[in-house]
Amino acid sequence: MMKCQCGGLLRFDLQHLQDAGRLGLRDQVSLLWKCMVCGRSRKSDESYPLSQVVASLDQLTLADRSQG
């Protein structure tokens, strides 16, 4: 689990992905996490194709569902 400089947990920013999709930035999307405590955001150094990011997110979501 990634953590912020303040020690708070970082949560993956889905809104950022939706914005990228809407703006047509589908080739190279950087990943964004937001701290749940101080609100500071952290960006990935590398960027990835949006389809690849969404596919990995789907897998995570499915994994969550299978547990519940």
| Candidate segments 17-25, 32-40, 46-54, 57-65, binder of Zn ion by CB under 5 A | 32-40
Q: Is 6 in the site for Zn ion (CB under 5 A)?
A: yes
Q: Which of 2, 9, 14, 37 binds Zn ion (CB under 5 A)?
A: 37
Contact criterion met (CB below 8 Å) for 13 and 33? yes
Strand pairing category for 41-48 and 29-35: antiparallel
DSSP character string of 44-58? EEEEE-HHHHHHHHH
Q: Is 38 in the site for Zn ion (CB under 5 A)?
A: yes
Positions that interact with Zn ion (CB under 5 A): 4, 6, 8, 35, 37-38, 40
